[in-house]
Amino acid sequence: MFPANVSTLNTYNDLYPDWTQREVSTGTTIMAVEFEGGVVIGADSRTTTGAYIANRVTDKLTPIHERIFCCRSGSAADTQAIADAVTYQLGFHSIELDEAPLVQTAASLFREMCYRYREELMAGIIVAGWDPRRGGQVYTVPVGGMMTRQPVSVGGSGSSYIYGYVDSNYRAGMSKEECLKFTAEALALAMERDGSSGGVVRLAVISEQGVERQAILGNQLPKFSTV
């Protein structure tokens, strides 16, 4: 993580700026919500190396299969590597079975990898999608490698700031449009407060019909208090 010729003490060193010494992280706020007939997933678009924003238009919503996505938070390298591996395994499995894979299977594959290599990895992943058997599902696989299904799940460094908002505003049985609005507002609030989250809000709706993606850019983000 640190070059050899730099002191590991927390000293400011003009010779080497902060971002040469820091790992690339998707600081992040990610979120996924189940609704009748599918799921809505969302993420911010900021990737940081220390205080430098390495990518301000990142796509953290990664397709694993036709109707299964994952939202990535934690180390960018770790989550990309895991997502690539799971995409391969799931594709192979789907061809063997000759049917669309279950979202639960994808989540199990993520969990297997995140748990087995928990000491080496830093990855918080939300797996969400639609399959013909059980409809829209959201599974969360936080750091450490546990896996659980939840109707709504938030993750990443910005998620701490919006637990209250999510807990008080989530209702079961929301429509697709209500879920989109709920997700966009939650992400906007987190991006406002978390330094590692920002940029644009990327959203996707996954259902039987397929995947619809959209992005909400800076000036169109939901606005809250002007304080």
Partner 1 sequence: ISLLPLQYDLSASTFSPDGRVFQVEYAMKAVENSSTAIGIRCKDGVVFGVEKLVLSKLYEEGSNKRIFNIDRHVGMAVAGLLADARSLSEVSREEASNFRSNYGHDIPLKHLADRVAMYVHAYTLYSAVRPFGCSFILGSYDEDDGPQLYMVDPSGISHGYWGCAIGKAKQAAKTEIEKLQMKEMTCRELVKEVAKIIYIVHDEVKDKAFELELSWVGEVTKGRHELVPKDIKEEAEKYAKVSNCPSDENLDKVCPSSCYICP
Q: Please list the active-site residues.
A: 28
In degrees rounded to 5, what are phi and psi of residue 168?
-85, -25
Q: Dig out the tokens for 213 from the structure.
A: 């993606």
Query: Please, which of residues 161-180 interact with partner 1 by CB under 8 A?
Result: none
CA 27 to chain CA centroid, Å, is 10
Site for partner 1 in 88-127 (CB under 8 A): 93, 96-97, 102, 104-105, 107-109, 111-112
> Which residue carries 């690539």 as its tokens?
84
Q: What CA–CA distance (Å, rounded) separates 217 from 178?
A: 19
Q: How far is the CB of 76 from partner 1 (least distance, A)?
A: 26
State the DSSP code for 158. G
Q: In the bound complex, what is the minimum distance in angstroms from residue 223's beta carbon to partner 1?
A: 42
Q: How many residues line the site for partner 1 (CB under 8 A)?
A: 13
Q: State the nearest-atom distance from the C-beta of 105 to partner 1, in Å.
A: 5
User: Residues 41, 59: contact at Cβ < 8 Å?
Assistant: no
Site string for partner 1, 124-153 (x = CB under 8 A): ---------x-------------x------
- Cβ atoms < 10 Å from Cβ of 138: 24
Nearer of residues 107 and 123 to partner 1, judged by Cβ: 107
Give the alpha-carbon dihedral of 24, 27, 82, 111, to 10 degrees: 150
Nearer to partner 1, 2 or 92 (CB): 92
Please report how close the Cβ of residue 93 comes to partner 1 at its closest, in angstroms. 7
Return the DSSP state at 199. Answer: S
- The contact set with partner 1 (CB under 8 A) reads 93, 96-97, 102, 104-105, 107-109, 111-112, 133, 147
